[in-house]
Structure 1
């Protein structure tokens, strides 16, 4: 005869019996879920090759930031004595993790979509090396982004403050790495990186977007930059700006994949908060200014200012109303 489990002090026996009775239903529920995985059109990923993990993606972003801004995001002090050792360790760890993650992504597509073998592991190592070699060039462009953010913001007290605390710098740092991976045709990983940055900053930049130097996203929340957007040098945009596509048909995934759907922004343009610029044929000419809340679906020439007409304000005296 099975002995009943001891009941902890202060716990009513009826509560324990109620919990055990509820838990007795779990095996049946688990079987229903398992059966549904095997016999339904819903999405599952039950495979010998694991799907890429966002946790690993967060780790490689952190290590990239250590190398893109040495001394800012390391856990230990970085000085001239330990510089080579510390950065060398980070380079080694990042390469191993990045190569494995790229390989997993390539192999994932190869197996899941029945593609011909392309040497997943050798490609993974080759691409990882190419991205690692690009770090000095990416750092150079990011330095111009930091300077532009500092020079254009009277509230910024130092370049250090910009690097540590500006969400726009975090988002564009991740983007510049993700874009290089996108150019090298790494599946899935660039988008996971971009969406990780999106979840932290509220800034949504597709890794396919091409963005020049001295790029500033001021404040940042709600910014959307689509896949085929092209942005020149020395461009500044504010919170809530959308650089998007026009309304797409239901089958747009197949019809328009890979085609230009998002606008082109030339050098030295400023786009103020809440503005929406849509369409692959839309070009904002150099040195133009797009005012807040403007909706644009057509091109404008260089040196143009586009603003909304001043709305009519209605101001009421609440005290007069209350006294009447």
Structure 2
């Protein structure tokens, strides 16, 4: 009989008045590692998948407190892990990577956080993340995997390079044993002298439809840098997704309670809101609503704006906006420089109020 295990089980639940003792450090990617901790008393850990802990770190220049999402699962309660990635200006994370080693103890508080799975199990999930925002997805997916009731999981993770995909081996291991779990990795560029046969570019609406054609039926969990999450929200809203089933957490600023959660100021187009488009070169003014695309209004007015994909990919329908506001959710068919210069894609732009175009 395993007496040490029984002793740990009898020790109760870890509380943050007790320190954490580092038991392993596993490199994950450049400037990224998973730190695992046990409680010195042998207590077990109780938390919800997706929650975070705050670590007190004796960094150079003075103590700092840093919040990290727990990347391990509560279904494996003998230790707790955080996966951290250092940025150029990191202080606490840099100290962990350079100095924190097995046997060292640190002070922590938590666990806490509201970015977690619903109390009642859902059957279909879509996890979308970028960079180290994959860490809560790793915890949630591991928990669902360990439950043994095969969930329908689609996990999408975006990284700069293949070598910077965090937790790839762990996620692939679970997917290899769970046929209902599908993984999609998207990178912006290749690693030198290596072959990448996966997807390149940036996440867009077309990809979401390809990865999970039934995305409207799935519970969506998103985590990553704020601009990334803003883009994902806009894509889903444009696709008609019910945002009541959308959940997000910025790994830079997790919240502890519903009251602290920021309200998302998402623009939802109104099919009853009046709008109008003045096609300046043609001298045509057309009345429409916010849900009409510029391309559709032009065609119904007898005007020809060249178009191809009609989904914001090819860029054929690029036109110059002279004044007014449009809501554009494109799929990579226009550059940031063009947008700054006032250009829009007619196929995926909706007029807000009065708009004037150089058409």
TM range (shorter): under 0.3
| TM-score, scaled relative to structure 2 | 0.23
Q: Looking at both structures, which has the greater relative contact order when contacts are Cα pairs under 8 Å and sequence separation is at least 6?
A: 2
The structure with more strand, counted as a fraction of residues: 2
Q: Answer with 1 or 2: which has the greater Rg.
A: 1
TM-score normalised by L of structure 1: 0.25
